[in-house]
Structure formats: C-alpha cells, structure tokens
Structure 1
C-alpha cells in the first residue's frame, strides 16, 4: 500500500515530495481497443499520471439504466493505467463541460420539471448522489491507499465560472467522503480571483486551468491557495473546433515553452489534452455565446497525440521539456504511417425519411417530450392554404437546423447558427419539417435547454396547431438503407456500399463530396459530417472494421456523390491566417 497526501509545499507520495505530470485521456472518446495504446504513449512522453473525466450521460443515457461495460468500463480503463505503472486522476463532475454534449449531464436529468442544475436543489442533489455513489463504487477500491493507482478526485468542474453555492459543494464533498474516497480532493477554476473564490471550499485544494502566461497564472493561484503544491490541472495545449469555423492549432514550441515555465516553477500539471480522440456518434457538444456553434466530430485538439494516436511535433517538444524535470523512457511511439487509400462505389437508395404519423398535439413536442436521444425528428401539420398564395412561416425558435417541405417538396432550410426563424412558403396541404439537434450546449446558461421546434408557429397571421411529431432512430434508418434498392442519387438520400480489408485497420473517410449527414461503418456511427467544415475526414477506428467484407452506410440530409473515398491521413480543415 502507498499513500498520497498534500504537504506544506508538495504532493507527497509515501511521504516524499512528488510532482504530478499528467495528461488527459477520455475513455469515452477512444475506442476501447485503443485504450492501452494511448496510455502507453502517454508514459513514453514522460507522463506519470492519466486524468479522465467521467461522462454521466455515457453511463446512464436512460434514467435507471446504468452501464459500466465496454466503452463505459471505467474500472478497466483505470486498471490499464495501473498496468502501465501510472497513477490516475478521476474527475466525475457531475458536470464536465469537455465540449461533450450537455456537459456530461443526462438529457433525462436536465429535462426534469423544476430541476435546479449545479446547486442545492433537492431533486438534482438526489440524482447526483445516486450517480456519484455508482462512480465511487468503481473508484474507491482503486485508490492508491488500497493498492490501486487513483491519487486525486475532483469535486465539480470549474464551478466558479457558473455558481457560488457553497452548500452544494459541501454536499458533494460529504458524499464523496461517505463513499470511501480518502485521497485528496481538488477543484479547478480559471485563475481569476472571483472564480477561484466562488468555485471551492477551504478544505479543497485549488488548482488552475490555463494554457499560457504560466508565471502570472500561478501567482494568482498562489494567492488563493497559499499552501500545498501549485497545479495547473488543465494546461490547454490546443483547442477545439466548431462547424463553420477554422481548425485550431497552437505552436508546438510556444506551448512547450509555457509548459517549461510551469514545470520550472515547481508546479504539477495535467496536460489537456494529451490525446483528444473523437466525438463518435452524436456526442459532440456546442457553445452559445450569442451565436450557436456546434462542435465538430473530431476532438483532435491539436494534442501531442493526434486523433488516430500518432505522435506529433508537440509530442516530442513536450517530451524534451519533461526530460528536464523527470526521467523519460528511451522508447518513443512509432511514427504515423499512411492509412489505406481506396474508393468505394455507393448505391443510392433514395429518400430515407420515415412517414409522418402519430396523433396531433395542441403544442409542439420537443425531443425531451418524446424522450428522444437521437439527432432527428419529423414534424407535420395540415395547412389548408389557398391555392396559388404564398405566406411567411415563422417559428419562435429552431433548435438547431430545420429542412422545410410543403407537400413533400423542399422549400427552404432554417439554421439556428444564422438566427433564421422564418421563410416564405408556397400554398399546399401539408407542412413537414425535419429537425436536426446538432449538439447540446456544454457550457453556460443554456446548459440543458430543450431541442426541437418552438412556437407559436405562424403562417401569415394564423397560428398553426395540431402538430404531429415522429422521433427518427438513425440506427433504424441505416438498417433500412443497407437493405434498400438502387435509385437516382438526388437530394436527401441513403447511400450504401461494401469494401474488403485484409485485416482491421484505422481508416480516414473523406466526406468532402457530401453535404451534411451521418456515416456508419459496420453499424458503428462514426459521427456527423458537414460540408460547412472545417473538418473534411471522419476517423474510422480499427475496432470498427474487420477482415473481409465491410459495409459503409451514409445518411445524407441534402446532396451527396455516390462514392466513398478513404484517404491516407486526416484532413481537419483550414487554419487561421
């Protein structure tokens, strides 16, 4: 058994001063078959610790249906870290941000009537308590003082930027201790005095989150944490991308210099991210600071280890810095090698949109009303308009993208990102609106907001009522496309094809010839693509492929070429000038 404690100036491992040199890996963003490889690469860069968030909504997307297996096997992930001889830091939230949908909070939770998020509201505290007990059942026996490798557990996440409910934080601390967590507890906030003051408690060890001006930020942190080790527990070495933006990178030498300054000051560090991974499926978050900006599928983050697990220039720059302060293994990860490049002819199977059905409702139903965790929902309403007339169709809000049809004919698209809520439509008998939820906000006051169409909806001066709504299951759509017949590839369509591989391997799917939609390989939802960019490829992990015949299915929302190109390397888009 070992001990890990906080001393007057340092972390203490078995009573001796110890510096934490950590990197972030999110198990829920990495195919489980790649976990061990990514952890090993972290050790080869010189890290002695791995940090991970816990994504509540990955473990419990449906209330009461807890899952800690497969992709959600946190225990196995921590054990693999231990097998590599490394320590672990666990950050269970319950709110994590992380550019992850809904900031990690389950949709069923944020949709509860009267819920008070991230504060001492009874029903929120009750649900959070159940969640944390489940997490701590996994974490507690793996603490370092029980023969495991977990050395730190974080309380909440950057809470000072959101609230100042000390009773809420104390409830989390008390519960954490009741559940047998004995290692030191930390908080993290940006090094702004008001955030550091509001986001912690005297008994918790404060850490900072920043990516530059290390000396200045550490000085601010020291003012609020006068004793114990200084730690930047989110050293931002890159940034995330959003649709319609650019691919963000940071200069490797500049990032390494900031890391050097941080370590030279004697601080501990957690590099965010060491390896970002991918927002597979529908897991991307979104920001909204006056303009809605959904996060792309890739979470490459310009990290030392790229999206496919290859070492970058930043990996070696950071490794050289770490070697000045700690022992670094002689071995390095293998350099990147080109992925197989080939093309696959696809068969267009025609419009995949399910028929409208269901009983009319007096008001519009949200995704939450339908308990729908998917990305798409169909809305229909009868028009009874006068032939030959046109009228202005107006919604109170569209979350987040809507394709509008009259009698089955496409007439226009509305984008939340562009603040579009109205368009002129022709006469007809039925109005159909296909809505895509593009990513749930992960930060700020819009956390937990509902998705769908919001009224009143007016056509001219008349309110439209009697709406019918049909949730669309993407997996069911993909299955129907795979079994569909051939047709002409026009507009919204399904596409399917097959390709052979000698053995499972990582691939990069080029989506540049397509419009907007979702891609599957062997039934595994890779994520979203969009010509809007910046991202131009989808990462296909080897674990989603197989030797022999493989199947690709594309659910296209607008217009796609009937061909799939697999390319040698990722293309994440243009950079800032």
Structure 2
C-alpha cells in the first residue's frame, strides 16, 4: 500500500512503537522530518569520530536475507566475538517486493528485528539500501517487475525509474530512519547506491538518490563505495559525501588514491574481499589465511576502517542466486554464498576467523569476548528417495495453463523466477527439420511426444526434429538460472524472448504453465509428488528424514543431475552435479523433532540415494585462488 504524500507514518523498532514520525516525502514533496541529533559518525578534521571520539569502523558483512531469521542472533554474536564493532547489510528490494505493491517486512524480512538483534550483540549497523545492490543476488536486488517494464532504464535519471524508487523509499526508509543512532538505534551509516562507478556516470542520479535519503530523514553518515581506480571513483563518488573503496588487495594503493582525491576524509575500505563466490561449473574460490590476513593488516596499518566482505556469507536461499555474463555465456552463481568467509555457512569458526580476531583485537585493545562453540550437526546417514510425479505431467498438473499466440517471457507472465513449461502441437511434415529457439534465457529441455529431443543452452540454438506428417506434442521446459546482477546486461529478460521456428516457419498457439518454485507453499510442495503418475527417470521424489533433536546438516544427492530441493516445504536452492558445490546446507530451524520430508524436483536424472553429511563440500581443495583484484 502506497503511503499518502502527507501522511505521518509511525514505525516500530525492536517491536515497540517508537513514536518517531518517519519522514515521508512523496511526489508532492510533503513534510520532511530530520533527526533530533547530529550524525554519530563524523570526520570534521579528516579523522573518523564516533560521538566525538576517535573511532575505526571494524565491520563485517552479513545479509539478513541469506541467514535463517532464527539464526540471526547467533551469527551476529559470532561477528562480535571476532572483534568487530559493526555489521553491514544490503537491503534487497526484490526480497521485500517481489510483486509490485506487495511489500513485506515480516519473518526473514523483518529489518527492525535484525537491527535490534545487532544492537543486542553490541554492534553498530551500516545499511546499504541500494536500490541496486549487486551482491551476487538475483537481478542485483532490483525486482523483475521493475526491470521488465517496457523501456525501463535502471540506475539512471530516467523518470519512470525514479518514480518507482521514490515509491519504494517511501516504504523502506521509515524502517531504517527509526533505527538510527539519533533515535537510540544502531544504524550509524547509510550507503548511496552501490559501486555505481563500475556501471555509469549519471551524477544527477546519484545526487537525486542522496537527496531522496536525506529528504526522508536519513541523518547519519552517508557514503559512496567504488573500486580503487580513478575511473570508478569518478563515476560513483559525490562531492560532500564520504568516498570509500572496495578491493581485495593492495590497501596502500587504495589509501593513496583516496587520500590524493579526498583530502580531509578518512580511509575506509567498504568491502574487503577476503573470499569470493562461485559459479556453477567453475572452480571453488578460496583464499589462504595468510593472504587475507596480510591485506587486513595492511588496511589497519594504514589507519583505515574496514568492512570484511563477507564475514558470514550464508546461503542464496530459494532462487536468490544471481548470475554474471562474461560476454559469451551466462555464469549462474551457486546456491551457497559461503564465500570462504571467516564464519562458515553453518556458523563454524574457521582459522581465518581466529587470525582476523587477533588483528582486530590488537588494533582496538578491546577485551576478547568468549568464543562460541561450532553448531551441532546431525550424524551422517543415507535416505532412500521414493519417485513421484513424472517431470512434464507433474509440472503441468501444478499450475493452470494460459493460452498465448506466441511463447511469452517471464516478464509477460509476471513471474520473477522458476520454470516455464511451453506446450504446442505443431504439424510437422515427414523428415528431419531444424527446431530453432531465438532469444532463449536461459536453458530449455525440449521434448517431442514426451521423449527428450535435447537441451538448448544459449540465446539461439537448434535441434533436429523428426516429423511424420502429423501434429506432435512439443514441450519446452525453460529454466531461469538467475538474473544477471552486475554489468550492462542488468535487467535482461527471461524465458523465450524471440520465437520458436520449425524450419523457416514460426510456431504459434501455445499453452504455458508458470512455475514460480520459490513461491510455492509447503502444501503445494507436499502435493507435488502425487500430482501425476511416476514416469521416467526424472520428476519429483521424496525422502523421509526422522530426527530426534534438530541440528544442522549438509544434504548431498549423488547420482542426481540437476534440480531443486525442499525441506519441509522450504526451498533450499538449486543443485547441479557439475559442481563445484556438492552439498546444500540445511539449517536446524528447518527441521522438526520427528518426521521431516525432503522433496526433490529432478530435471534430468534421478540418483538412488540422498545423503546427509557432516561437512560442507563446496569444491575440490586443490582449486585454490589467492588473487582478488
């Protein structure tokens, strides 16, 4: 629901109404409310101060949307135990508003609760509200409905884009402003956009965003963050707003660049890349303790403040994984966002944690906090999957069909993610003909009369199709493998964006089943394996997991090819046998004492067992990367 431009909205922080009038500034420029106290973080003489005292921000990135909300307090406590004094988090717009006008701040989206738990852990909070965040998150956090609007030009001064950001900020920013330090909350800084200098140079857009934040009551420290090059800093920084750098090595060069350009500003590394993320089919990135600790020590020795990216990476739950594009092919990101962080995906403390802790405590002289134990794990075991509904008829039974003259895109269907099952009955003359799909995003399994014909993986692809002079049942199951989150292809559509041809002739008259898998209710997931008769070597399968006391575990699917996995109706994410990731993290809060159900949607080939393992398997250890420039 869109607030009135003249409405005074009262929000709550820590579950209690604060009485703070959240600043609302709509298109009619209604009233504005400014904080009653100056920013907690300042730098009047070039030295960073907190409440007037010398201070260094020692932050760690942990994104609330990548951690089960029942584990927020535990993970924040682990950040504090490492010697950090701040947590920073992005806000993913598409997590809160996957469909226009349907905004949620409950459960795992409850920013106020997250901020309150951070404060309980003794941490300040840095908020990075975007609206674009990158973060290896689907579409860089921008909703698919937004970038799917005809003619949309995101991350620019394009007026229809600014109108949507303005509407979103009217809803989002009261959640943040109420938690500012000026009102007794933990929020001490807010980022303007995100690494904009790697994307564009629309100074007017950045100025508009800065004014949109301050005009809605953001009174704490504002900053921009960009790579440590002149080109990136030129495009992303703003006069009068603290400029920071993001990098993984050579802190002396970054500090020199910033100090040469911004005399009178403190040196801040807004993202120190102590690890990295992975793409399916590529290597698992790791960074040695010595390499990462050496760069962190260099930042501290240069007198810098820092945010460790990631301190705790967590999981790209559901279908949240984004993708990159190398100019030739799509590079989907894996389900895990462990990122070789000092705090592992399941909360375990790595050697990197302990080395970082030594450096951070030495820099501050603070008393060390007690170290938490690693979370318990279920004992390894094997589960036997029971095949359920076959792939095509099972999926067709789970969603109504809509009729289209052409194959529609995900955007035309208003579906952000998941699968689309396209079905047609073309008349195909006898002989072999080329079946060509144009504008495919991202991957299509092709079937003729229920028999696999092949797989297309690329924007244009061709397969041979044999006809007998009669109509055939042509099915294309198209998988959205994650929206691009970085670079000029941001916002690219999904599905079949061109058309389907047999020889030179376009295929018309389609029925389409939309399958937004990450929006399925637990009841629908439970029903899915019984939606149709078992058929073939793929489709749905279930396994029973009996648990006395819930604890974390890692789920592996040896022999399975590619698909998705739910536990008790919650979608864990994608699995693919090509790796590098082998196991999926199952957090204890998803399990119940007694019987639990694992549901698999397998797109290509069933395995004969599901295994619970007692450690994460994210890639071969010999694939070891140390350069992060």
- TM (norm. structure 1) is 0.96
Matched, 1:259 2:300: no
Decide which moves more: 341-350 or 324-333: 324-333
Q: Is the 8 A contact 2:280 2:332 kept in 1?
A: yes
CA contact (8 A) 1:395 1:454 kept: no
- Residue 551 in structure 1 maps to residue 597 in structure 2: yes
- 1:102-134 deviation digits (Å, cap 9, x = unpaired): 000001111112212111111111110121222
Secondary structure of 2:363's counterpart equals: coil
Helix, strand or coil for the counterpart of 1:323?
helix
Distance 1:565 1:554 in 2: 13
- Residue 346 of structure 1: aligned partner: 385
Distance in 2, matches of 1:10 and 1:153, equals 18
- Which residue in 2 is equivalent to 1:324? 362
> Are residues 1:560 and 2:606 paired?
yes
Cα offset, 1:169, TM superposition = 1.0
Is 1:103–2:140 an aligned residue pair?
yes
Q: Which moved more, 1:431-440 or 1:509-518?
A: 509-518
Q: Which moved more, 1:218-227 or 1:17-26?
A: 218-227
Aligned to 1:390: 432
1:503 Cα deviation from its structure 2 partner: 1.9
Correspondence 1:306 to 2:344: yes
Name which of structure 1's ranges 360-369 and 439-448 shifts more when overlaid on structure 2. Answer: 360-369
Q: Are 1:478 and 2:525 counterparts?
A: yes
2:421 matched residue in structure 1: 378
Name whichever of 508-517 and 330-339 sits farther off.
330-339
Match of 1:9 in 2: 46
Q: Is the 8 A contact 1:495 1:562 kept in 2?
A: no
- Give structure 2 stretches of 5+ with no counterpart: 1-36, 625-629
From 563, 567, 570, give the equivalent of 2:616. Answer: 570
**Deviation at residue 46 of structure 1 after TM alignment:** 0.3
Q: Is the 8 A contact 2:89 2:127 kept in 1?
A: yes
State how 1:191-202 maps to structure 2 within 5 Å: 191-202=228-239
Say if 1:519 and 1:179 are closer, same or farther in 2 by CA, change over 3 A.
Answer: same
Equivalents in 2 of 1:434, 1:89: separation in Å?
A: 42
How many angstroms apart in 2 are the aligned matches of 1:142 and 1:454?
43
* Among 556, 580, 585, the residue aligned to 1:510: 556
Instruction: Check conservation: 1:491, 1:557, Cα contact below 8 A.
Output: no
For residues 573 and 133 of structure 2, what CA distance do their matches in structure 1 show?
A: 21
Task: Report the TM-score when normalising by structure 2.
Answer: 0.88
| TM superposition shift of 1:175 | 1.4
Structure 2 residue 501 is matched with structure 1 residue 458: yes
2:252: which partner in 1? Answer: 215
Separation in 2 of the partners of 1:182 and 1:115? 31
Q: What 5-or-longer segments of structure 1 have no aligned partner? A: none
Worse-matched range after superposition: 496-505 or 516-525: 496-505
Distance 1:232 1:296 in 2: 26
Runs of 4+ in 1 over 6 A off after TM superposition: none
CA distance in 1, matches of 2:173, 2:389: 49
Question: Residue 463 of structure 1: CA displacement?
Answer: 2.2
Structure 1 residue matching 2:253: 3-state secondary structure: helix
Q: 1:53 aligns with which of 90, 95, 104?
A: 90
CA contact 2:402–2:513 (8 Å) conserved in 1: no
SS in 2 for 1:349: strand
After superposition, the C-alpha distances for 1:80-121 in whole angstroms (9 at most, x for unaligned) are: 011111111000000000000000000111111221211111
Is 1:205 matched up with 2:242? yes
SS of equivalent residue, structure 2 residue 335 = coil
Distance in 2 between residues matched to 1:217 and 1:470, nearest whole Å: 51
Deviation at residue 360 of structure 1 after TM alignment: 4.4
Question: 1 CA distance for matches of 2:299 and 2:46?
Answer: 15
> What do you get for the CA RMSD once the two structures are aligned?
1.8
SS in 2 for 1:215: helix
The aligned residue for residue 194 of structure 2 is: 157
In the aligned structure 1, how far is the partner of 2:381 from the partner of 2:269? 44
Residues matched between the structures, number: 573
Matched-pair contact (CA < 8 Å) for 1:5–1:13: yes
Residues 558 and 607 in structure 2, CA contact (< 8 A), matched pair in contact too: no
C-alpha distance in structure 1 between counterparts of 2:87 and 2:346, whole Å: 18
Cα separation, 1, equivalents of 2:532 and 2:479: 26
Out of 53, 64, 68, the position equivalent to 2:105 is: 68
Q: 2 CA distance for matches of 1:486 and 1:109? A: 39
Q: Given that residues 145 and 416 in structure 2 are in contact (C-alpha distance below 8 angstroms), is that contact kept between their aligned partners in structure 1?
A: no
CA distance in structure 2 between the aligned counterparts of 1:319 and 1:225, rounded to whole angstroms: 30
Q: Which residue of 1 aligns with 2:580?
A: 534
Take 1:100 and 1:374, find their aligned partners in 2: how far apart are those partners?
13
Query: Whole-Å Cα distance in 2 between the matches of residues 29 and 551 of structure 1?
Result: 22
Structure 1 residue 421, shift from structure 2 partner: 1.1
Distance between the aligned counterparts of 1:346 and 1:237, measured in 2? 39
Report what 1:140 is aligned to: 177
| 1:238 matched residue in structure 2 | 275
User: Is contact 2:46–2:263 with CA below 8 Å preserved after alignment?
Assistant: no
Q: Name 1:23's counterpart in structure 2.
A: 60
Q: Kindly indicate whether residue 265 of structure 2 is the aligned counterpart of residue 228 of structure 1.
A: yes
Post-superposition shift, 1:392? Answer: 1.1
Asked if the contact 1:8/1:229 (under 8 Å) is kept, the reply is no
- Give the structure 2 partner of residue 276 of structure 1: 313
Kindly state the Cα deviation for residue 386 of structure 1 after the two structures are TM-superposed.
1.9
8 Å CA contact retained: 2:377, 2:553: no
Residue 22 of structure 1 aligns to a residue whose secondary structure is strand
- With 491-500 and 31-40 compared, the bigger mean Cα shift is at 491-500
| Cα distance in structure 2, aligned partners of 1:370 and 1:205 | 42
> Contact (CA 8 Å) 1:102, 1:447: kept in 2 or not?
yes
In 2, Cα distance between equivalents of 1:348 and 1:572 = 27
Q: 1:403 aligns with which of 426, 445, 451?
A: 445
Q: Distance in 2 between matches of 1:392 and 1:144?
A: 64
- Partner in structure 1 of residue 473 of structure 2: 430
Residue in 1 that maps onto 2:353: 315
Determine if the alignment matches structure 1 residue 171 to structure 2 residue 208: yes
